[in-house]
Chains A and B, each alone.
Chain A
Amino acid sequence: MKLTIPEREIMQPGHLACQGCGASMAMRYALKIFGRDSVLTIPACCWAVIDGPFPYTAVNVPLFHTAFETAAVMASGIKAGLDVQGEKSTNVIAWAGDGGTFDIGIQAISGAAERNDDITYIVYDNEAYMNTGIQRSSATPHGAWTTTTPIKHYKIGAKKNMVEIMSAHRIPYAATASVAYPEDLCKKLEKAKNIRGFKFIHILAPCPTGWKSDPKYTVKLAKLAVQTNIFPIYEIENGLKYTQNKKVKQRKPITEYFKYQGRFKHLKKEEVEFIQKSIDRENEILLKKF
């Protein structure tokens, strides 16, 4: 029997994620790697619900639910608390959505990154505020429908480049990853686990509910995002050393990615062309960094 990722399961079934939820896949992989000697903190986001109501939990490691904007510093506090009590080996992981990371939580993240606190910050990015009913965030891509960017006023403006913001802090490790490539993701998690200091991992985690996609296409979409270059996966060590993890020889047209999602259905041809151009331009900039 040949398995490409660790066999152990820490996260338990029975959780409350929607069918085909990319965020629950991401957590499953993270716990496989980080193991039982880990403490999680999760702010307001889908995962605050997925874990289950009081008096239950699904993650099966200690978990502190926290306020929306505090995941990073909560992890810093937990790490400090464990440290002073001699529990120095425990992995402390902040686990947040894109809203909690790109928007309301960015101040605390920047603070923890600048201090280089020894924590791993993981953002599962479903590109909107899903918990509260699919409102736009600064991670929502240009052109997308959300409940606060209705089709007549769809999201205008590019997705915030969070991993670059983080790497500008010169943190030891920053990476992007996709749930479609668990082996790559697990490698990155393993790497983060063994580095001291602030680690940031940005995981694209499709959300069938919010993307208006079929739950069975979660992996397909997470793969197409990489193959179309709309979500390139790479790592940045110490803010300087860029490594491309999935080389895309012939990028697929963005329409391949859009066609499985209801949230881009309204886009006219010119708008799709504009998006395609900006993806290609961004990719050119990125390729120079490798």
Chain B
Amino acid sequence: MLIKFRTDKKGVKISGAKDMPPMPASLGLMNWNKTSSWRNLKPIIDYEKCIDCFICWKFCPEPAIKIVDERPVIDYDFCKGCMLCAEECPKDAIATEVEGK
């Protein structure tokens, strides 16, 4: 019998063996896991400077940069603050802000 899984904000809820498949088979995706809390630094795109080259989008390892209306938009739920995007931006259009300051 396939386990019908219940989800809450944190993904799948398992109270015991009865909610589990016979083997460790996944029941949901990791994207409930908002990694924003990992961030010390915060990249901020200056859309005046941005030329929509999408280099930041291309390199984001998460990926936490989405394309919205043909522009790169950082999803701060998932951005881990590696600052790779800012480093690679050819127009220096991504500023660095220190989190919690």
Contact = CB atoms under 8 A, between A and B. Distances in A.
Given A14-B35, A219-B87, A58 B61 contact: no
Interface string A211-223: 0001111111000
B26 A54 contact: yes
Contacts of A220: 87-88
Contact of A11 (B12, B52, B63, B70): B63
A56 B35 contact: no
Contacts of A16: 30, 33
B24 to A, nearest CB: 4
Nearest to A222: B59
Interface stretch (A20-28, A37-45, A114-122, A134-142): A20-28
A175 B82 CA distance: 28
A160 to B, nearest CB: 26
B63 A13 contact: yes
- Consensus secondary structure, chain B interface: loop
Nearest to A182: B58
Interface in A196-237: 208, 214-220
A54 B28 CA distance: 9
B33 A25 contact: no
A19 interface: yes
Given A56-B11, A219-B59, A19 B30 contact: no
Given A5-B58, A9-B63, A13-B63, A218 B82 contact: yes
Contact of B31 (A14, A19, A21): A14
A20 B29 contact: no
B47 interface: no
A266 to B, nearest CB: 26
Given A54-B24, A216-B87, A14 B29 contact: yes
Nearest to B26: A57
A1 to B, nearest CB: 4
A284 interface: no
B34 to A, nearest CB: 7
Interface of A: 1-5, 7, 9, 11-17, 19-22, 24-25, 28, 51-52, 54-58, 60, 182, 208, 214-220
Interface of B: 5, 11-12, 14, 20, 24-35, 38, 52, 54, 57-59, 61-64, 67, 70, 75, 77-78, 80-84, 86-88
